[in-house]
Amino acid sequence: MQVATGKSVLNGIAIGKVKVYKAPKLEISEALIEDVEAELARFDAAREKAIDQQNALYEKALIDAGEDSAEVFSVHAMMLEDDDLLDATKEIIQTQKHSAEYATKVAFDNQAMVFAEMDDPYMKERAADIYDIEQAVLNNLFGIDTDSMQGTEPCILVARDLTPSETVRLDKSLLLGIITKEGSSNSHTAILARSMGIPALVQCADVEEDWDGKDAIIDGYNSCAYVEPTADLASSLKKRRDEDLKQKALLQELKGADNTTIDGTTIKVYANIGGPSDIGLVQQNDAGGVGLFRSEFVYLNSKDYPSEDEQFNAYRLAVEALAPKQVIIRTCDIGADKQVDYMNMEKEENPALGVRAIRICLTRKEFFKTQLRALLRASAYGNLGIMFPMIISKRELRECKDLLKECEKELLEKGIKVGTYSLGIMIETPAAVMIADELAEECDFFSIGTNDLTQYTLAIDRQNAGLDPFLDIHHPAVLREIKMTIDAGHRHGTWVGICGELGADPALTETFLRMGIDELSVNPVSVLPLRKLIRGLDLSKKPEDQE
């Protein structure tokens, strides 16, 4: 068995035989031409055909992956009309007397290098778009048919890289998964794979050509692939895949249905995610939005402080891909059980009660403002909610809001667009519960973090397994705090949700709905089972009368 690791762009399991795709090698001659007009005509014909192909791919992607993902092909079609790019290509044909193939290669490569050398990671990625349309024109000039790259049998497709055009051309009914040696989790190909619900690994350096025809498994949950897996491992992962398939079957039954009880009570059901790789799961499981985007993944996955642009690209990806659904992004929640070396945090005797989350941010304000600017920039691309964790006082909340306004002013003065956004906090300490009325006056929403609220209420370290016998996750004190928070929020027009583990606890769903909770945010795979449970409740009956 061979184990290959990469970056997962969709949490899922794919099992099947490998088909290794080798891009055709194009031999481009540097020989000079005699008939310039004929060569210009060849280039124009190939370019016009490429535009038609990009428009056709837009229509296909619209069906397979949705409007946001399809938009890249409209952009590609416009790029093929770009005067600068066309003039540069034709100039090489006319003055240097090179072939249409040579001119296309040189002119398009030069344009791609301009993007590749930009500092902005998002703009840097756009070099791939230039290479994509370059390949489309060259394929037409060479008469290459790319529709046969996949073969006729279901397979896990392995390639050095795939352009967005190649990805969308694939027959989804035969595509089990994708593994690429190159690429990135922010590329259009990764976005399309997520949108199409296809398990995929990128930056898998261990890809080998001799995998062709071998049995393999992509484990998107653990960002690896197994080639010729052992029987025990294959059996285990097949069970995980079958569980995923059951979720998909449930999706077909409940997709588009309301989260409404028999008596007509409707609640929002959102998803908790750890980063852009979970976007596909949000879409697959038909979550109404994202109730908790854990932004700390940006910090935990970086070797140094992530830049404003790096953060902006991650947040924009989620907000833009899921628009118009709401995406609530929690600001940095590093500390306690989540540490990063480069932040040089002092060792604490009791980190759960120490410098963590908003306490770090308010003592390292420039660090905090970097994230706030990234969030504000992302707000222009969709429906964003900004949520502050570990707030225990009105003073802290107002200080956060002041910094946010300061950042907004800085961006607007630079001519950078800022969209509308909602503002909320996590309620995860007894202190926050006790002053919830005051905090609600300053917020659009509350999200109750039941994991920490339980820990701090019961004085039980949730990282200490030895205390499990003393831990009652249904403790009446915690449930009363939840009810108190809901009531306080509603008194001030603030909606209230739950994003902790209790939100997915089926034993408490009816209790929460009777309390008046507005939203439950859960692991994506829990969205549909929760919807099914909600639709079977009748709150007009007494609890003991429920079946």
Residues identified as active-site: 188, 499
Residue 291 phi, psi (nearest 5)? -90, -20
Kindly give, in sequence order, each residue whose CB lies less than 8 Å from that of residue 406, ignoring residues fewer than 6 positions away.
Answer: 369
User: Angle CA(352)–CA(354)–CA(356) in degrees, nearest 5?
Assistant: 85
Closest to 15 in 3D by CA, of 244, 250, 252, 282: 244
Mutual angle of helices 308-322 and 188-195, in 10-degree steps: 30
Q: What is the Cα–Cα distance from 177 to 175, expressed in whole angstroms? A: 6
User: H or E segment at 519?
Assistant: strand 519-522
Count Cα neighbours of 193 within 13 Å in the Cβ-side half-sphere.
37
Which residues face 221 on adjacent strands?
A: none
Strands 268-273 and 519-522: parallel
Cα separation, 492 vs 424, in Å, equals 13
Where b means 16+ CB within 10 Å and e means fewer, 412-443 reads: eeeeeebeebbbbbbbbbeebbeebeebbebb
**Is residue 537 within 8 Å of 512, Cβ to Cβ?**
no
Sign of CA dihedral 231, 232, 235, 241: negative
Residue 376 and residue 341 in contact, taking contact as beta carbons nearer than 8 Å: no
Per-residue tokens: 150: 């996949």
Strand positions, DSSP E, 106-188: 155-159, 175-180
What is Dmax (Cα atoms) for the chain?
A: 90
Contact 172, 196 (CB under 8 A): yes
Region for residue 20 given its phi and psi (left: phi exceeds 0; alpha: psi -120 to 50; beta: otherwise)? beta
Yes or no: say if 498 and 521 are a contact pair by the CB < 8 Å rule.
yes
CA gap 433, 453 in Å, rounded: 9
On whether the CB atoms of residues 49 and 188 are closer than 8 A, the answer is no
**Partners of 386 in beta bridges:** 329, 423
| DSSP code, position 300 | H
Pairing between strand 421-427 and 383-388? parallel
Backbone CA torsion sign across 12, 203, 2, 20: positive
Nearest to 231 by CA among 246, 213, 217: 217
Distance, in Å, from the CA atom of 5 to the CA atom of 15, rounded to the nearest integer, reads 16
Q: Can you tell me whether residue 251 is helix, strand or coil? A: helix
- Backbone φ and ψ for 138, nearest 5 degrees, come out as -65, -40
